[in-house]
Structure 1
Amino acid sequence: MVRIFYKEKKQIRKENDVRMLSQIPNVIWVDLQSPSPEEEEWIESKCQVSFQTPQEIVEIESSARFFEQGDMMVANSNFSKIDQHGYHSYPVSFLIKNTTLFTYRQGDSKTFADTVKKMRVYVEPFETGIDIFLLLLETRIEADADLLENMSREITNISKSLSNEKKPKQEILLKINTLQENSMMLRESIIDKQRVLSSIQRSRLFPESYRERLRIVLKDISSLTEYTTFNFERLEYLQDTFTGLINLEQNQIIKIFTVVTIVFLPPTLIAGIFGMNYQVMPTILHPYGFYLALILMMLSSTAVLWFFKRKHWI
């Protein structure tokens, strides 16, 4: 699907028929969402642009994330989203030629839908495709901030549940591990944008009048990076706390086994002594010898328990 946005007087119009592209004046944004090969070829021939393949878009080398070709700037970045299956990232390619923005992506995205809504509400500021490009980035940063806030709430809930749980559960550790993975994924996405925008800021093709706004965007991205670091530190703290609680529980179990073993050592010693098979054995013929041995066993165990209690070991 291809959406063509153009400015007519003070209104932003949209055209979905790609064949009308050559007849539309003042085109500021061409959005290619999972385009067909025919649509992609049509736009490339009419606008004299060349889109990268999906494999080239996801390359992580600096030369693949941002480069210039004549009068074109090409920037590739990863956007994040959350659904019922968790956090995911998807690549988006931006191409700016003269004053027209071209975006190439696979699948739908709430960021682009929100950007279109803002364009319809605030018409005046959008004169060129660079305005749309910066608006997309600002909208994406707001979405990333919402994801971080959502993640922070999940971390707070885990912290509260960990405080209320007398016995730590395995599910909590799995949640912490999942949030750590999501936090790293989101941090990678934010740092990727920071790297790409830093390259754009140094570009000779990027208009000087937009550089101050771009610096503000980079500043917002830096604050998000710090926030992801804070979230990751909180998760590490919770993981250490969980591990400490597990160790305490295991130590308590080992302590119980140790006390039980030591308590039964003196009775075992007494039983071993009185169970020796010698012909001459004191009290072996005593009518109360058996009961005397039982009393000694009970007294020895009681003495050990009293000693442990006095030392506050149990």
Structure 2
Amino acid sequence: MWIDLVHPDKTEERLVEGLLGMPLPTREDLKDIEPSSRLYVDDHGVYMTASLICKADSDLPVLADVAFILGGNRLITVRYAEPRSFDLFTAALGRSKAGYHCGAAVLAGLLETVADRTAEILEMAGARLDRLASEIFLDRRAAKKRPARQLEDKLLDIAGFQRLVSKTRDSLVSLSRLVGFVLSVEPLRRHEEASALCHVVAHDVQSLSEHAAFVGNNISFMLDASLGLINVEQNAIIKIFSIASVVFLPPTLVASVYGMNFKLMPELDWSLGYPFALFAMALSAVIPFLFFRWKGWL
């Protein structure tokens, strides 16, 4: 009832085609197939191609094109990647009490597992995003001890989440088209249980798409908040340098005045001229400093 071709070579493809009497898409076909030609029916059976997310637990999740073919009361899948949903479905076959008597029923169960795995990916992304939010929005005392580049490093984590959620949303769009097409073909209409399960999967895919959009909005908020905090820290550093330059500007003016060495400068011959100049420079620095403290700019 189910023939799963994983990384098949030319010999295996010809063998299965000879046994089933129907053509199978090759790896090049899956790569070159147009979006408008992913779902069709011909004399041999029902041909469907969906993009499923793979390597969701890694730093570089990817989309893999998987072919689903219903023909001769069998399901044939052709894939050159290993989505975890297939392993989960295979492992659950031995524990499931429900019987699979045709390829349409196997397809419905497999699509349900794909939707469940997608939900798990979104839940994992949401949990990791919450942990990242708690690391970014520290309290004020902890933020003062935070390394300057820590927030900039968080931007890479946010970019990773954005890639994961983006790939997941693309996979959900592809899965939604496939499920909608499956519900309209003859093999599913003849099988009431499989048809009912596909209706449930279609509803789940719609809910997951809304949840993915919600997670995507949270990621956008996290990105904007991180950039805002980085700007606040940079502005604080610039403010310190600006205040320091203003504080030291009056002493520089006093030193410049008494460094001109004109003949008619009484303070040059005064015995207390040097300490007076030092006192004037210190006072001219303290007064702006106290004024900034009073205004709350420090």
TM-score normalized by the length of structure 1: 0.85
Task: Give the corresponding residue for 2:213.
Answer: 229
- Counterpart CA distance in 2 for 1:292 and 1:120 is 95
TM-score normalized by the length of structure 2: 0.89
Task: Give the corresponding residue for 1:248.
Answer: 232
Q: Deviations over 1:4-44 (max 9, x none)?
A: xxxxxxxxxxxxxxxxxxxxxxxx21221222322211221
- Counterpart CA distance in 1 for 2:70 and 2:111 is 14
Task: Give the corresponding residue for 1:133.
Answer: 107
Q: Mind listing any 5+ residue stretches in structure 1 that lack a counterpart?
A: 1-27
Q: What is the deviation of 1:63?
A: 2.9
- Shift in alpha-carbon separation, 1:227–1:70, aligned structure 2, 3 A: same
Aligned length: 287
Q: Does 1:271 align with 2:255?
A: yes
Q: Secondary structure at the match of 2:101?
A: coil
Which structure has the highest helix share of the two? 2
Q: Deviations over 1:212-255 (max 9, x none)?
A: 33222111011111111111111111111111111111111111
- Counterpart CA distance in 2 for 1:111 and 1:221 is 15
Out of 70, 77, 83, which is 1:103 matched to?
A: 77
Q: Secondary structure at the match of 2:267?
A: coil
Q: Structure 2 counterpart of 1:68, which letter?
A: V
Q: Superposition RMSD on alpha carbons, in Å? A: 2.0
**1:201–1:211 contact (8 Å) kept in structure 2:** yes
Task: Give the corresponding residue for 1:183.
Answer: 165
Task: Give the corresponding residue for 1:116.
Answer: 90
Which region of structure 1 is more displaced relative to structure 2, 274-283 or 258-267?
274-283
Following TM superposition, the consecutive aligned residue runs of length 4 or more in structure 1 with deviations greater than 6 angstroms are: none
What pairs with 1:21-170 in structure 2 (closer than 5 Å)? Answer: 28-59=1-32, 61-82=34-55, 83-164=57-138, 166=143, 167=146, 168-170=150-152
Task: Give the corresponding residue for 1:298.
Answer: 282
Task: Give the corresponding residue for 2:204.
Answer: 220
- Counterpart CA distance in 2 for 1:212 and 1:261 is 74
Larger RCO: Structure 1 or Structure 2 (Cα < 8 Å, ≥ 6 residues apart)? 2
**1:101–1:132 contact (8 Å) kept in structure 2:** yes
Q: Secondary structure at the match of 1:173?
A: helix
**1:57–1:64 contact (8 Å) kept in structure 2:** no
Q: Mind listing any 5+ residue stretches in structure 2 that lack a counterpart?
A: none
